[in-house]
């Protein structure tokens, strides 16, 4: 008897579970990904800080014909009739006070990367695959935030504090959410079937396709996506290419859009609390060594190298002492890093006793080993050379190491250049120049020269940038036998100036 009863009891519960599962399958949209498209309409302006509403501003890009076209326009410029896509000259004609910057894609990407890191607080899947936008998969986070509205509001709050204006739209297909966000229509579509009807009214201009195809579509009288969906597919593919069809399918959710995940860059952060407070640097060194060793193993595990890091000495009172140390070439050599830090610590004056040491780095990048030269057998190790230069620079300060390069300018002062990195030179001079140049020309007294060679070189240049010169250069010898390069201005031929030495 007993087993039968238990069996009877089990039957209804099993069937309940079955029904539950079936209803879940019917409502598959509960589990399908839901994408929140976050479009930044003014990103190009925001990266330059051109967010003031009252000041007309625009960002330009070059097109294939070499014209400068406006890419983004501020609201106040828009009021004066300036619109994106306009040439720069016509924009200036409408609004002479327009502040213009050249579009900086690198800056935009950096800004997006920062925002994507913030986005990771809302979902584990943030994608930067669409231009000027973040795409967040939010289905899994809805329960946490209560509703999509709450999540969107929090996200908007977070991004707005960073000075960005955003448009958000949610849709089950990533491209659809991006298109809606880009159009400025802040709506939420939860099921696939609604996609086509909502997207249908969007302009085809929003699609990320060639300018040429946009023009041709406009000429055919196609203005919105609905018009495109009404056209026969084979004809569309033949006339405008298959990419347009693929985009249409992706927008309507018929075709999956594979998206890459954004991963936050790795960071190293480690703290060692000292057993007792100390103001003696010698006591700090073991702790710093330990941190550097940890950093080195962290880097080796990830096959990475560090370009810059901060050593922070925490005091019980007052602000911590912060030492920022960079390397010319990303490295993971703990001996080298320790040598550099030792150099910094040696010339450090502590404001008070140190209670903890912290090492922090966010500049962690992939490790690229140096390729050895197959044919040069006995060449010095370039990595060691860079490490030596790092060491010199750390001890002597940033401006202590300089490279030389020549610039094509006739004025002697402007023909040289000091750089922080080696640079190629373009020599254009024919008359022999002196090996030494004085930092500034020095007036010579008449008794100093013993002979002046008669050949003169007239250098007359620079009238366009306010540093015009008109000088006659001669070679000369002074009383002690030094070979000089001297000149006189054509206005005052009596006064000679020393400008260089032939060394």
Partner 1 sequence: MNAELEQLLKSDGRIWRGKKTVADIPILATGFPELDRVLPGGGWPAHALTEIRVAEWGIGELSLLLPAMRALNDEGFWLVWVTPPFEPYPPALCQRGLDVQRMLVVDTADSEADFWWVMEKLLRHPAARLVLGWPRQIRGTLLRRLQLAAEEGGTIGMLFHREAIDSTPAPLRLALSPSVEGLEIRVLKARGGFGGAVARVVLN
DSSP per-residue letters across 65-77: TS-EEEEEE-HHH
Count of positions (residues) in the chain = 503
* Minimum distance from residue 299 beta carbon to partner 1 (Å): 25
Please identify which residue in 31, 429, 453, 463 interacts with partner 1, judged by CB under 8 A. Answer: 429
Segment near partner 1 (CB under 8 A); pick from 102-110, 249-257, 325-333, 387-395: 387-395
Q: Which is nearer to partner 1, 351 or 462 (CB)?
A: 462
Interacting residues with partner 1 between 262 and 301 (CB under 8 A): none
Sign of the alpha-carbon torsion through 104, 107, 112, 115: negative
Query: What distance in Å separates the CA atoms of residue 288 and residue 358, rounded to the nearest whole number?
Result: 8
Q: Which is nearer to partner 1, 120 or 482 (CB)?
A: 482
List all residues 6 or more positions away from 130 whose beta carbon is below 8 Å from its beta carbon: 37, 174, 175, 178, 208
Burial class from Cβ neighbours inside 10 Å (0-12, 13-18, 19+) for residue 305 reads: buried
- Beta sheet of 99-102, edge-to-edge order: 68-73, 57-62, 99-102
Q: Which is nearer to partner 1, 8 or 445 (CB)?
A: 445
Query: What distance in Å separates the CA atoms of residue 247 and residue 240, rounded to the nearest whole number?
Result: 12
Interaction between residue 160 and partner 1 (CB under 8 A): no
Query: What distance in Å separates the CA atoms of residue 281 and residue 347, rounded to the nearest whole number?
Result: 10
Query: What distance in Å separates the CA atoms of residue 337 and residue 360, rounded to the nearest whole number?
Result: 13
Q: Which is nearer to partner 1, 158 or 417 (CB)?
A: 417
Segment near partner 1 (CB under 8 A); pick from 28-36, 125-133, 193-201, 382-390: 382-390
Interacting residues with partner 1 between 209 and 238 (CB under 8 A): none
* Minimum distance from residue 381 beta carbon to partner 1 (Å): 8
Q: Which is nearer to partner 1, 160 or 451 (CB)?
A: 451
SS3 label, residue 167: strand
Segment near partner 1 (CB under 8 A); pick from 71-79, 127-135, 165-173, 436-444: 436-444
The answer to whether residues 128 and 263 touch, using CB atoms and an 8 Å cutoff, is no
Please identify which residue in 232, 318, 481, 493 interacts with partner 1, judged by CB under 8 A. Answer: 481
Please identify which residue in 78, 356, 438, 444 interacts with partner 1, judged by CB under 8 A. Answer: 438
* Minimum distance from residue 410 beta carbon to partner 1 (Å): 10
Please identify which residue in 75, 264, 396, 420 interacts with partner 1, judged by CB under 8 A. Answer: 396
Token reading at 443: 């007036």
Interacting residues with partner 1 between 349 and 378 (CB under 8 A): 376
Token reading at 135: 């795409």
Segment near partner 1 (CB under 8 A); pick from 69-77, 84-92, 118-126, 480-488: 480-488
The answer to whether residues 313 and 283 touch, using CB atoms and an 8 Å cutoff, is no
Q: At how many degrees (to 10) do helices 242-252 and 233-240 cross?
A: 130
Sign of the alpha-carbon torsion through 42, 47, 52, 56: negative
Q: Which is nearer to partner 1, 3 or 503 (CB)?
A: 503
* Minimum distance from residue 483 beta carbon to partner 1 (Å): 6
Q: Which is nearer to partner 1, 314 or 469 (CB)?
A: 469
Query: What distance in Å separates the CA atoms of residue 294 and residue 303, rounded to the nearest whole number?
Result: 14
* Minimum distance from residue 74 beta carbon to partner 1 (Å): 44
Interacting residues with partner 1 between 398 and 427 (CB under 8 A): 399-406, 412, 415-418, 422-425, 427
* Minimum distance from residue 340 beta carbon to partner 1 (Å): 13
Interaction between residue 463 and partner 1 (CB under 8 A): no
Interaction between residue 494 and partner 1 (CB under 8 A): no
Q: Which is nearer to partner 1, 418 or 463 (CB)?
A: 418
Residue count at the site for partner 1 (CB under 8 A)? 52
| Alpha-carbon distances, residue 150 vs 186, 187, 190 (angstroms) | 14, 14, 16
Please identify which residue in 372, 380, 443, 494 interacts with partner 1, judged by CB under 8 A. Answer: 380
Segment near partner 1 (CB under 8 A); pick from 88-96, 170-178, 318-326, 434-442: 434-442
* Minimum distance from residue 428 beta carbon to partner 1 (Å): 8
Query: What distance in Å separates the CA atoms of residue 220 and residue 227, rounded to the nearest whole number?
Result: 10
Instruction: Find where tokens 């998206």 sit.
Output: 259
Quote the DSSP letter at residue 434. P
Token reading at 431: 């008359």
Query: What distance in Å separates the CA atoms of residue 399 and residue 261, rounded to the nearest whole number?
Result: 41
SS3 label, residue 367: coil
Bridging pattern class, strands 57-62 and 99-102 = parallel
Please identify which residue in 190, 290, 388, 456 interacts with partner 1, judged by CB under 8 A. Answer: 388
Please identify which residue in 69, 224, 307, 482 interacts with partner 1, judged by CB under 8 A. Answer: 482
Q: Which is nearer to partner 1, 323 or 389 (CB)?
A: 389
Interaction between residue 391 and partner 1 (CB under 8 A): yes
Query: What distance in Å separates the CA atoms of residue 49 and residue 58, rounded to the nearest whole number?
Result: 11
Cα 408 to the center of its chain, rounded Å: 31
Interaction between residue 342 and partner 1 (CB under 8 A): no
* Minimum distance from residue 249 beta carbon to partner 1 (Å): 54
SS3 label, residue 274: strand
* Minimum distance from residue 335 beta carbon to partner 1 (Å): 15
Q: Which residues bind partner 1 (CB under 8 A)?
A: 376, 379-382, 384-385, 388-389, 391-392, 395-397, 399-406, 412, 415-418, 422-425, 427, 429, 432-439, 477-478, 480-484, 500-503
């Amino acid at each position: 008897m007993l087993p039968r009863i238990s069996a009877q009891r089990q039957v209804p519960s099993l069937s309940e579970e079955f029904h539950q599962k079936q209803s879940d399958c019917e409502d598959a949209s509960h589990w399908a990904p839901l994408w929140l498209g976050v479009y930044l309409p003014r990103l190009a302006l925001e990266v330059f800080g051109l967010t003031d509403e009252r000041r007309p501003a625009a960002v330009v890009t070059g097109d294939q014909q070499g014209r400068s076209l406006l890419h983004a326009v501020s609201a106040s410029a828009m009021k004066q009739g300036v619109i994106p896509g306009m040439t720069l000259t016509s924009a200036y004609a409408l609004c002479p006070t327009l502040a213009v910057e050249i579009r900086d894609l690198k800056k935009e990407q950096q800004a997006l990367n920062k925002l994507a890191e913030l986005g990771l607080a809302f979902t584990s899947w943030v994608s930067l695959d669409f231009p000027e936008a973040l795409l967040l998969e939010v289905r899994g986070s809805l329960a946490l935030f209560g509703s999509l509205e709450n999540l969107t509001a929090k996200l908007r709050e977070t991004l707005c504090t960073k000075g960005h204006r955003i448009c958000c739209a949610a849709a089950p297909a990533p491209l659809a959410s991006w298109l809606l966000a880009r159009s400025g229509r802040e709506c939420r579509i939860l099921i696939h079937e609604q996609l086509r009807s909502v997207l249908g009214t969007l302009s085809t201009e929003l699609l990320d396709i060639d300018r040429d195809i946009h023009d041709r579509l406009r000429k055919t009288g196609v203005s919105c996506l609905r018009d495109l969906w009404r056209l026969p597919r084979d004809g569309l593919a033949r006339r405008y290419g298959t990419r347009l069809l693929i985009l249409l399918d992706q927008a309507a959710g018929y075709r999956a859009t594979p998206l890459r995940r954004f991963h936050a860059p790795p960071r190293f952060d480690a703290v060692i609390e000292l057993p007792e407070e100390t103001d003696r640097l010698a006591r700090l060194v073991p702790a710093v060594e330990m941190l550097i060793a940890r950093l080195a193993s962290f880097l080796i595990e990830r096959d990475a190298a560090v370009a810059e890091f901060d050593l922070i000495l925490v005091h019980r009172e007052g602000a911590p002492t912060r030492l920022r140390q960079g390397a010319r070439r990303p490295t993971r050599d703990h001996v080298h890093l320790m040598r550099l830090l030792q150099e910094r610590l040696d010339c450090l004056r502590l404001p008070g006793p140190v209670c903890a040491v912290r090492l922090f780095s966010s500049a962690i990048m992939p490790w690229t080993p140096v390729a050895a030269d197959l044919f040069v057998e006995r060449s010095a190790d370039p990595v060691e050379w860079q490490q030596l230069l790092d060491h010199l620079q750390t001890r002597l300060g940033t401006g202590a190491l300089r490279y030389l390069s020549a610039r094509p300018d006739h004025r002697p002062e402007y023909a040289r250049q000091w750089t922080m990195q080696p640079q190629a030179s373009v020599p254009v001079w024919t008359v022999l120049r002196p090996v030494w140049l004085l930092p500034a020309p020095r007036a010579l007294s008449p008794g100093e020269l013993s002979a002046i060679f008669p050949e003169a070189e007239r250098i007359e240049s620079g009238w366009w940038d306010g540093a015009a010169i008109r000088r006659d250069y001669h070679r000369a010898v002074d009383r002690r036998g030094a070979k000089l390069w001297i000149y006189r201005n054509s206005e005052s031929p009596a006064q000679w100036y020393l400008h260089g030495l032939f060394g």
